[in-house]
Structure 1
Amino acid sequence: MAAPIRTLCCSAFRLSSRHFSSTCGVQAGQKWRKEHGLSRSGTEYGPLTDLPDWSFEDGRPAPPLKGQLRRRQEKEALARRIVMLSSEVDRGIEVWEEKQQEAKRLEEHKKSLLLKPKGNLLIKKPKS
């Protein structure tokens, strides 16, 4: 009994002009948002995710939600990492420049140790 049903289903799928899509519906509009300088999805950052949902009637802000605290900690950790990596790059550039200057000084020192021309070679000949 199972074989005729499976055959019927398979033949119905083959004859059908509809195709099934396996793409995720969450990615809808992702390309457009990236082209316009926005986040991949509407929930990554912005006022709807960063600002509190409500406040007290007298104007006091609401306590931050767990997600807001987590995002704030992630942003702080990312900022610390950026500063650390930036300082490492700056230090690397300084070390490289020091090495370049030292190599230049060494080359000039080697040139100063070479024998100097003497006698007739020091006299400049007038060009005619």
Structure 2
Amino acid sequence: MAAPVRTLCCSVLRLSSRQFSTTCGVQGGEKWRKEHGISKSGTEYGPLTDLPDWSFADGRPAPLLKGQLRRKQEREVLARRIVMLDSEVDRGIEKWNEKQEAAERMEEHKKSLLLKPKGKLLIKKQTKNS
């Protein structure tokens, strides 16, 4: 009994004009959203995900949902990390500037320790500069 049903299904599939695709589907409007600076899906960020769905009749805001609290906390952590990394970059630039200044001072100090011309050489040098 199973054999005739199987052959019937296979023959129907062979005769149908529909094609089966194994590629993953693209979300509708993803390209348009990216071009307009919106998230690639409607659930990543934006007013529909960040704002509350309702409010009390007297105007009080609704309590935040779990997902909204999680996203808010993730953003705060990211902001703290950005500030920390920015301050590290600033400190690194300051240290680099200090090293450059120290190297310049060392170079000037080395030049000041060099032997200075004396006698006839000093007189010749002074006449050239004048």
Flag whether TM exceeds 0.5 (same fold): yes
Runs of 4+ in 1 over 3 A off after TM superposition: 15-19
How far apart are residue 109 of structure 1 and its match?
0.8
- Work out whether 1:22 is the aligned partner of 2:39: no
- Work out whether 1:122 is the aligned partner of 2:88: no
Q: TM-score, normalised by structure 2?
A: 0.76
Q: TM-score, normalised by structure 1?
A: 0.77
Give, as a single letter, the amino acid of the residue that structure 2 aligns with 1:102: A
Unaligned runs of 5+ in 2: none
How far apart are residue 110 of structure 1 and its match?
0.8
Give, as a single letter, the amino acid of the residue that structure 2 aligns with 1:12: R
* Map of 1:54 onto structure 2: 54
Which stretch of the first structure deviates more once superposed, 17-26 or 50-59?
A: 17-26
- The DSSP-based 3-state class of the residue aligned with 1:112 is helix
Residues 114 and 70 of structure 1, relative CA distance in 2, 3 Å threshold = same
- The DSSP-based 3-state class of the residue aligned with 1:25 is coil
C-alpha RMSD of matched pairs (Å) = 2.7
The percent identity for this pair of structures is: 64
CA radius of gyration, larger in: 2
* Map of 2:38 onto structure 1: 38
Cα distance in structure 2, aligned partners of 1:37 and 1:99: 43
